[in-house]
Structure 1
Amino acid sequence: MRAVRQAVIDIGSNTVRLVVYAGSPRAPLPIYNEKSRVKLGACLAGDGEIDKATMKKALAALARFETLARTMKVDSLRVVATAATREAKNGQELVEKAAALGINVDVLDGDAEATAAGYGVLSDNPFANGYVGDLGGGSLELIRIADGTLGARVSLPLGTLRHDILTGKSSKQITQMLRDDIAKTMGQSAFPIETGLPFYMIGGSWRTFARLHMHETGYPLTILSNYEIPPEAPELLTPLVQDKDALTRSNVVAAGRISALPSATALLSGIVGLLMPSKLVTSIYGLREGLLYEQLTAEERSQDPLIAAARFEGARLGRFPFHGDALAEWIAPVFAGQGAQDARLCRVACLLSDSVWNVNPEYRADHALDLALDGSWPGVSASDRAVIAAALWTVHAGKRTLPEMLTALAKPGALAQAVIWGLAIRLAHRLDGGTGGALPDSRIDGDGATLRLHLSGSAVRLQSNSVARRLQALGEALGYAQTEIMG
């Protein structure tokens, strides 16, 4: 299983940021993240030039981040700059001074920036069908995505550092301004509008809005990835985002984000009026992840990022030679009628089922729960996380009663199914001690009344009362009247 370490330095309009990734190429995991709030984009609202102090600060950040990346022995390093650098009158001076430090900066044009943002969402949600919006300090990129590919895309001069453009405008006026700007940039019909599709939000200000929505609705998790918001939320939260004192008291919005939040929310309301989306989806994947996705082979892109991430972590954390996929195939006959999404989540549970062995036995179930709920898993909703957590909790707790939090995130039927996956995995772990050694010489099936565990070869010697009890627990959960071990 190939592991890589990659780094991206992103010279944005608000910050210069270094992110270092490790793990599977298809599901890179951030292992280091640091930013310097340089605010290059301030020049966009002024005379159009980066002043000397800001230039010096940006170069110092670049020098530090490039040194850190090299010290971390990354396999690849990409340094890119976006709207502020490409629009500043002296943006090329920044590029040349960076080159003198041995740092090659690639200044992305609007189309390249939009392309990377669109690929960022596809790297997380390969089957996403909707629109992507990437709101930075100096620009807004809109991208149509469907069937794993990018459609029309446009870069507009609307960013959090250009908030004066939005001041005093209603949502309807901002919607019309978006229409006009798109037509001016691309022509009247070059960016088709399809209503009723999800809108994927990228950018720090929109993530802050999502965090505020979580707080106001009492959402039980703080995981922003793929957090879903109803389209009417920007209008409903507008009075709050305009109240600086209330935002400060909430302890949810960082001080540096408070001033940008009203314009970011107003712009989001305008986009809702333009696209009339079915929902707003928060994305923590964006330009940087899109740049990494662009480097993948066609075969790597075709992989499910969630499966790739779980397989990598399962192999890294497991006790024995990895057999998570074999385990998924072993229990599959019991769940032959389940759909593709259920089979996907069941496989993830199998891949991660041996990942907390080094925790004290009294706390393994809790750690397994946290692994599923809080891990950096791509391509999952909160409901998906809860379903995986229910399966892993059952593997290690052996109980069919789940923590109350899970019932707030997923439907009862989905959780009940996950518990049965957990009981099946729990049986397999006890049969051969979690080694996977008995899987080739055993199988489980049922005839309507009896659930049977068939053993052959050396697996016949693995029978025990404990194995029989776990088989019985699985049979009862599946509704079988009796269970039997044959061999």
Structure 2
Amino acid sequence: MTPNRRAVIDIGSNSIRLVVYAGSVRSPVPIYNEKSRVSLGACLNGDSVIDEDTMERAVGAIARLHRVAEMMEVDWLRVIATAATREARNGPELVKRAAKLGIKIDVIDGQAEALASGMGIISEHPDADGYVGDLGGGSLELVRIKNGQLKESVSLPLGTLRIGEFRNMAAKQVAQHIQQHLTTANGDDKFLIEPGLPFYLIGGSWRSLARLHMFVTEFPLAVLSNYRLPSEAPADLLELTRNATAVAETKVVPSGRMAALPDATSLLAGIARLFQPSHFLTSISGIREGLLFGKLKKAEQREDPLIAAVRFEGKRLSRFSYHGDALADWIAPLFTTDSPEMERLRQCACLLADSAWQVSPEYRATHSLNFALDGSWPSIGPHERAILAAALMAAHGQKNSWPTILLQLAEHRELMKAMQWGLAIRLALRLDGGSGAALTESRFEADAGKLQLTLNGDFARLRSGSVERRLDRLAISLGHGGSEVVSFGGQSLRQRLFKG
């Protein structure tokens, strides 16, 4: 399987960054991430001229990152520049110097930047209904998304390099400033604000705030993707973020984000006051992911990003001809009352069923725990990760006792349901050795309080004590009085169904 490598060089106000992606076309995974701390945006509060030293360092960083991308043999590369370059009086000089090196820089305007950020959120949440805020050093992009469609958008000069006066303001004052900027930017075309909707957070400073919130609340999983903050969190953390010594002692905020954290928190407290969101949701998808998503065909964009990601990984890690979808269909009749959300996670567990075979057997359950909790899975949060982990752990031998972290992230009844999925998967892995060959010639039936596994034709020879024990444990977990393996010798299921 040859990955399709794509890359973006993002020339921002605080840094210049290269991200190289591979994996599923629908849900690409960063395989390389490098940034150079070149603050082009330092000019924004002065004479709007990039000084010569900064200009040379920027050109050098762009040249290096471009060469790194070439050496990685990327199939597609785009170099973009945002607020600092487009607003600096000598921004065109940076573009010219890069062009002499054979590097084309696209300087995108604020509207295009906002729309790309919105597309980044839609790439991970196809049915998103809420607001997006992308905070950079030079600007703040706000986008309204409704039912997975881009609506109003605006770019405001409220990046972290420009909002130092917000640091000691009350949230009400900050909200008033944001409203004034919205009015100035849009004029008569109002950016309508509907309260009670999710607000998606993009940007390193707001991710740092999420890390701090995790620390303060002792949240057990340090995965930022889709981490949920209550709407009052920015106001609650304001005092702490203004104490640099206390923040440093937590050791969870990157040193490069320390200076901007109080301003970014004050800005978000003002947003909370103005937008009155239901909650904030931290996103690791933004402008770069939006650009990649925009390249896809409509049919590809409509794919479920989570299913696409786990199917790619499951196929990559599988021992045999891939049959994760067939396995999902095989166990589905046992779980007809699952909600659509749980059905989706059940399918993910099946798609990843054969992902731990290369690990020593006694460590497969633990490996599955970490794989589910820490993997690059789009569009799900800690709660869903815990349920997926429980299913994969059960599939690889975990008994009824759960690690504390899972009990902190999901309800016991959800973990028990996931365990049932895992036991069904575990039975399949033993029935035909994980090859998937028996799935089309076997099926489940419930009869007289028993769970029956029917094997057809020559597949009746797969019956064994180990298969019967795994079937019995599955039956007990599902509330059946017992289990039985039933054989139809001689003819396959296909032959019997289509006889004559």
Shared fold (TM-score greater than 0.5)?
yes
Change (3 A) 1:448 1:416: farther
Structure 1 position 187, deviation (Å): 2.6
The 5 A counterparts of 1:95-134 are: 95-134=95-134
Paired position in structure 2 for 1:92: 92
Task: Output one character per residue of 1:16-56: Cα deviation in whole Å (capped at 9) or x when no partner.
Answer: 00000001110001000000010100000111000001111
The 5 A counterparts of 1:239-388 are: 239-388=239-388
What code does the residue aligned with 1:405 have? I
Q: Are the counterparts in 1 of residues 118 and 150 from structure 2 also a CA contact under 8 Å?
A: yes
> Is residue 73 of structure 1 aligned with residue 69 of structure 2?
no
| Helix, strand or coil at the partner of 1:32 | strand
| Helix, strand or coil at the partner of 1:397 | coil
Q: Distance in 1 between matches of 2:448 and 2:83?
A: 64
Q: Distance in 2 between matches of 1:203 and 1:276?
A: 20
Structure 1 position 285, deviation (Å): 0.5
Structure 1 position 247, deviation (Å): 1.1
Q: Distance in 2 between matches of 1:448 and 1:333?
A: 17
What code does the residue aligned with 2:373 have? L
Q: Distance in 2 between matches of 1:2 and 1:197?
A: 40
In the alignment, structure 2 segments of 5+ residues that lack a partner are 488-500
Paired position in structure 1 for 2:451: 451
Structure 1 position 157, deviation (Å): 0.3
Q: Distance in 1 between matches of 2:421 and 2:158?
A: 48
What code does the residue aligned with 2:400 have? R
What code does the residue aligned with 1:214 have? M
Structure 1 position 165, deviation (Å): 4.1
In the alignment, structure 1 segments of 5+ residues that lack a partner are none
Paired position in structure 2 for 1:136: 136
Q: Are the counterparts in 2 of residues 41 and 137 from structure 1 also a CA contact under 8 Å?
A: yes
Task: Output one character per residue of 1:94-135: Cα deviation in whole Å (capped at 9) or x when no partner.
Answer: 011111110000011011000110011111111221100000
Q: Are the counterparts in 2 of residues 334 and 446 from structure 1 also a CA contact under 8 Å?
A: no
Q: Distance in 2 between matches of 1:458 and 1:216?
A: 60
Paired position in structure 2 for 1:205: 205
Task: Output one character per residue of 1:202-261: Cα deviation in whole Å (capped at 9) or x when no partner.
Answer: 000000000000001101111000000111111111111000111111111122211100
| Helix, strand or coil at the partner of 1:19 | strand
Task: Output one character per residue of 1:384-433: Cα deviation in whole Å (capped at 9) or x when no partner.
Answer: 00000000000112412221210100112211110000000001111000
> Is residue 196 of structure 1 aligned with residue 221 of structure 2?
no
Report the TM-score when normalising by structure 2: 0.96
Q: Distance in 1 between matches of 2:143 and 2:414?
A: 33
Q: Are the counterparts in 2 of residues 227 and 382 from structure 1 also a CA contact under 8 Å?
A: yes
> Is residue 82 of structure 1 aligned with residue 82 of structure 2?
yes
Task: Output one character per residue of 1:264-301: Cα deviation in whole Å (capped at 9) or x when no partner.
Answer: 00000000011100111000110100000000110000
Q: Are the counterparts in 1 of residues 202 and 283 from structure 2 also a CA contact under 8 Å?
A: yes
Paired position in structure 2 for 1:468: 468
Paired position in structure 1 for 2:40: 40
Q: Distance in 2 between matches of 1:133 and 1:335?
A: 39
| Helix, strand or coil at the partner of 2:219 | coil
Paired position in structure 1 for 2:494: none
| Helix, strand or coil at the partner of 2:396 | helix
Q: Distance in 2 between matches of 1:141 and 1:331?
A: 45
In the comparison of the two structures, how many residue pairs are matched? 487
What code does the residue aligned with 1:300 have? E
Q: Are the counterparts in 2 of residues 15 and 38 from structure 1 also a CA contact under 8 Å?
A: yes
Q: Are the counterparts in 2 of residues 314 and 354 from structure 1 also a CA contact under 8 Å?
A: yes
| Helix, strand or coil at the partner of 1:154 | strand
Percent of pairs with identical residues: 55
Structure 1 position 169, deviation (Å): 2.4
Structure 1 position 2, deviation (Å): 7.9
Q: Distance in 2 between matches of 1:347 and 1:237?
A: 39
Paired position in structure 2 for 1:409: 409
Structure 1 position 163, deviation (Å): 2.5
| Helix, strand or coil at the partner of 2:163 | helix
Report the TM-score when normalising by structure 1: 0.98
Structure 1 position 146, deviation (Å): 2.1
Paired position in structure 2 for 1:147: 147
Paired position in structure 2 for 1:26: 26
Paired position in structure 2 for 1:15: 15
Paired position in structure 2 for 1:177: 177
More moved, 391-400 vs 53-62: 391-400
Structure 1 position 188, deviation (Å): 4.7
Q: Are the counterparts in 2 of residues 330 and 439 from structure 1 also a CA contact under 8 Å?
A: yes
What code does the residue aligned with 1:139 have? S
Q: Distance in 2 between matches of 1:305 and 1:124?
A: 6
Q: Are the counterparts in 2 of residues 163 and 260 from structure 1 also a CA contact under 8 Å?
A: no
Q: Distance in 2 between matches of 1:148 and 1:32?
A: 29
Q: Are the counterparts in 2 of residues 17 and 35 from structure 1 also a CA contact under 8 Å?
A: yes
Structure 1 position 184, deviation (Å): 1.2
Q: Are the counterparts in 2 of residues 2 and 25 from structure 1 also a CA contact under 8 Å?
A: no
Q: Distance in 2 between matches of 1:332 and 1:409?
A: 25
| Helix, strand or coil at the partner of 1:102 | coil
Structure 1 position 167, deviation (Å): 4.2
Q: Distance in 2 between matches of 1:290 and 1:231?
A: 25
Structure 1 position 189, deviation (Å): 4.9
Q: Distance in 2 between matches of 1:373 and 1:221?
A: 8
